[in-house]
Amino acid sequence: MATNETADETADGTASESTDSARTTALRQLERAAAHVDVDSSVVERLKHPTKVQQVSVPLERDDGSVEVFDGYRAQHDDVRGPYKGGLRYHSNVDSEECIGLSMWMTWKCAVMDLPFGGGKGGIAVDSKDLSRDETERLTRRFAEEIRDVVGPTKDVPAPDMGTDAQTMAWFMDAYSMQQGETTPGVVTGKPPVIGGSYGREESPGRSVAIIVAEAIEYYDWEIEETTVAVQGFGSVGANAARLLGDYGANVVALSDVNGAIYDPDGFDTHAVPTHEEQPEAVMSHDAPQTLSNEELLELDVDVLVPAAIGNVLTADNAGDVQADLIVEGANGPTTFAADTILEERGIPVIPDILANAGGVTVSYFEWLQDINRRQWTRERVDEELDHEMRKAWDTVRKEFEARDITWRDAAYVVALSRIAKAKETRGLWP
Ligand code: GLU
């Protein structure tokens, strides 16, 4: 299981306080942003409630022959713009409140990117590090069966998240296909390319974070070659973001995994540090002049801070000590509502997760299109179209940010809410 919780993959152990649930934070953000848009209050009211939350029991025969039962969930928030879409996480913190909050964020994320999807999120309350590969496979197959009725390529399309990966999606897709009696690649995204996955999907959330950091650097009139960046989390999102930012010329001066952080004011060759997937928890063994804790990394005097590990790391406790000039969210929900307010008061812009890490679900959309059309795109085409979609979304959000003089998060919510409200008003309420 990954060390770094990001849009796709997560680590654990860096949050200093347990704060509001993802659902509470998502609701507060919605209420706050709704004040900036001319949306019918009944639409906002409907968006406060998930459409459906499925809870299932997932029994697992452990390798020693004993049987354990885990709780599994699939929250479906809203599907007015298309099938529910979002990851499955295997993590001990998974519960229905967390899945509901994360499914809300997926609704906004898909709408910010103008993808024809709604929001979903699910998972199993299990620490994936405690499972052998065979156990993970059996658990995944049984979970796929338990939620089979509510998923499907035109209903709800899961993807990787914390503690799950391309192989998990392959098992899920196989279990679903076996029961349906036909190979159905479009039931999940984030699969290995050999069974209908998309090239570039694995790198895509990190890629989008790097693109958005670069856009923001340009917006604020900085030089990327003179920009210092600290990245918390070196899993799929953090590592890919750090590497691409290094390729763009930025100076990545701090990196971390679950065990702690390394710091070099001269910058790292990020390609030389193994990602969690390449070698789990290897960041601290990389040669570096200084080591820090994950908490210290968040308070470094850098230009850009990218929290790409777990949720709730920027809190009321440390937001006052953040010295970065810009925060770009790689993880889902790294900033609590209270921290957001403090950072706003301090004039530190926060580019939200629902824009910055949206490359993951955007390439998931490309994968879904490839599956439906039975035609694989090249890596070059994926990257090119992703870059185009990210810049388009950035421009749309930037226009709202400038026109309304609101935070970046509120601007992204305004874009999302306006699109969703328009769809709801046009479709009407049935019956
Ligand atoms: N789990 C990812 C996210 O939080 C991707 C979801 C997807 O591709 O459906 O954005």
Enumerate the domain spans of the chain.
Answer: 17-194, 204-356
Q: Which residue has the tokens 């026109």?
A: 403
Q: Kindly report, residue by residue over 142-160, the tens digit of the pLDDT.
A: 999 999 999 999 999 999 9
Q: Kindly report, residue by residue over 242-285, the tens digit of the pLDDT.
A: 999 999 999 999 999 999 999 999 999 999 999 888 898 899 99
Closest by CA position to 195, among listed 172, 225, 222, 218? 172
Q: Kindly report, residue by residue over 98-118, the tens digit of the pLDDT.
A: 999 999 999 999 999 999 999
Atom of ligand 1 nearest to the CA of 161: 1
Closest residue by Cα to atom 9, ligand 1, is 86
Note the pLDDT of residue 8.
55
Cβ-contact 308, 238 below 8 angstroms: yes
Q: With 70 as the cut, is the pLDDT of residue 45 above it?
A: yes
Closest by CA position to 299, among listed 269, 273, 263? 263
For 345, the enclosing helix (H) or strand (E) is helix 337-345
List ligand 1's pocket residues with C-beta within 6 A.
Answer: 7-8, 85-87, 109, 159, 161, 189-190, 332, 357, 360-361, 364
CATH superfamily label, 204-356 = NAD(P)-binding Rossmann-like Domain (3.40.50.720)
Least confident of 2-6, 161-165, 253-257, 425-429: 2-6
In the chain, % of residues over pLDDT 70 = 96
**Where in the sequence numbering do the catalytic residues fall?**
121
CATH superfamily label, 17-194 = Leucine Dehydrogenase, chain A, domain 1 (3.40.50.10860)
The 8-class DSSP code of residue 286 comes to S
pTM score:
0.95
Q: Kindly report, residue by residue over 195-225, the tens digit of the pLDDT.
A: 999 999 999 999 999 999 999 999 999 999 9
Same fold, 17-194 and 204-356: yes
